[in-house]
Amino acid sequence: MEFTSLGNSGIQISKLALGTMTFGEQTSMQEGHQQIEYAHDKGINFMDTAEMYSVPGRKETQGSTEKIIGNWFSKNPSKRKDWVIATKATGPSPLFTYISEDLRFTPSRLTTALEGSLSRLQTDYIDVYQLHWPERKTNCFGILGYDLHDAEWSDNFETVIETLNDFIKQGKIRHWGLSNETPWALMRCREIGNARHWNGPISIQNPYNLLNRTFEIGLAEMAIRENIALLAYSPLAFGLLTGKYHKGLDKASDRINQFSRLSRYNGERSKIATAAYLQLAEENQLSLTQLALAFVKSRPFVTSTILGASTLDQLKVNIEAAEYAISPDIIEKINAIHHLNPNPAP
């Protein structure tokens, strides 16, 4: 397993991360534990979760993912030190008022969220505590253009960052990061951190895959020059980039089929682009999974690629596929497809 630095934290993390958002929904506790153990055996030391997981978010399953991870740690307490754990505080959304009526990142709300995650994870500290999505209305989760300027939102990043730094001083978190964020927010947080001599964000967790390369527009250069770790999620676009949907090998229980609300990758342009990438993979005796994961892993601004699998068999396939080293010639052909059909699933 390859390792790399997590931003400027001094922490070494595996280039592949274990995503867990299916734990408690599509993936049982026993199966989740099997995935954790297999990933650990393969040298993966970075695991990502969130307060709101499992996905799709429901009151009945909220926190179940963290509980499954915490249960594993309770059975394997000596292995907590082997893992770098990242979790997230839920942002404002009418879909998640069952977590809290007020999901703004106030000091009291962040404190409650953090204490809940620590309890469910059965740990004394979290390595990377992330803000799951922006508090303000802005471009994320597939929204392009800029029609959502939030004139009512007041810039509270200074208070948020001070609160997160208080958590660091208390020993409850080691570092913090952003998720589903924009270039403006990343640089605003860096600006405040530098001016106040506070710990700024060490990471940003945004989507990045063959169907969504919007991170390259502004954020990629920042990630490299500011030493901010991109934790790339959805590298297989909810399974679309495995090719199983195009080959008719999908099942009713697969994510895109089961959860119609999660429609980010269902558009016609996504299907056309996926067909082109599938053809390219087959022409080079590769699986589409190999092509998709190798591309993401090869990008110089990607620190770790988050692999989310519903089953242990899927995880095994993904880890093996990610070992493929992509050639410059194939990257050139990927870019040609991207040029004709850019970012069909932002």
CB 346 within 8 A of CB 307: no
Q: Could you identify the residue written with the tokens 């190798």? A: 294
State the alpha helices, DSSP H only, in the chain: 29-41, 64-75, 107-121, 157-169, 183-196, 219-225, 255-258, 268-283, 288-298, 312-321, 328-340
Cis check for the bond before 56: say yes or no (omega within 30 of 0).
yes
The H helix count followed by the E strand count for the chain is 11, 10
pLDDT above 70: residue 297:
yes
Residue 295 has a pLDDT of 98
Q: Could you identify the residue written with the tokens 């059975």? A: 75
Could you tell me the pLDDT band of residue 230, with boundaries at 50, 70 and 90?
Answer: very high
Residue 146 has a pLDDT of 73
Per-residue pLDDT, averaged over 304-332, amounts to 96
Could you tell me the pLDDT band of residue 264, with boundaries at 50, 70 and 90?
Answer: confident
Q: What is the DSSP letter of 233?
A: B
Mean pLDDT of the chain: 94
Rounded-to-integer distance, Cα 47 and Cα 18, Å? 5
Backbone dihedral region for residue 9 (phi beyond 0: left; psi -120 to 50: alpha; all else: beta): alpha
Least confident of 52-61, 171-180, 236-245, 309-318: 236-245
Rounded-to-integer distance, Cα 189 and Cα 204, Å? 11
Taking alpha carbons only, the member of 1, 4, 69 closest to residue 203 is 4
Taking only Cα atoms into account, the Rg of the chain, rounded to an integer number of angstroms, comes to 19
Residue 110 has a CB neighbour count (10 Å cut-off) of 20
Q: What is the DSSP letter of 36?
A: H
Could you tell me the pLDDT band of residue 265, with boundaries at 50, 70 and 90?
Answer: confident
pTM: 0.95
Per-residue pLDDT, averaged over 210-216, amounts to 97
User: Which residues are the active-site residues?
Assistant: 53
* Residues of the chain above pLDDT 70, percent: 94
What is the per-residue pLDDT across 117-132, written as a single tens digit (0 to 9) for each? 999 999 999 999 999 9
Per-residue pLDDT, averaged over 304-324, amounts to 96
Instruction: Among 162-176, 238-252, 256-270, name the most confident range.
Output: 162-176
Residue 8 has a pLDDT of 94
Beta strand 12-14 with 3-5: parallel, antiparallel or unpaired? antiparallel
pLDDT above 60: residue 257:
no
- How is residue 150 written in tokens? 């939030």
Per-residue pLDDT, averaged over 233-261, amounts to 74
Residue 169 has a pLDDT of 98
Cis check for the bond before 54: say yes or no (omega within 30 of 0).
yes
49 contact partners, CB below 8 Å, separation of at least 6: 20, 21, 23, 65, 66, 69, 85, 86, 87, 88, 121
pLDDT above 90: residue 103:
yes
Residue 259 has a pLDDT of 63
Taking alpha carbons only, the member of 289, 240, 291 closest to residue 263 is 240
pLDDT above 80: residue 255:
no
Residue 251 has a pLDDT of 63
Q: What is the DSSP letter of 342?
A: -
| DSSP character string of 175-214 | EEEEES--HHHHHHHHHHHHHHT-----EEE-B-BTTB-G
Domains of the chain: 3-340 (3.20.20.100)
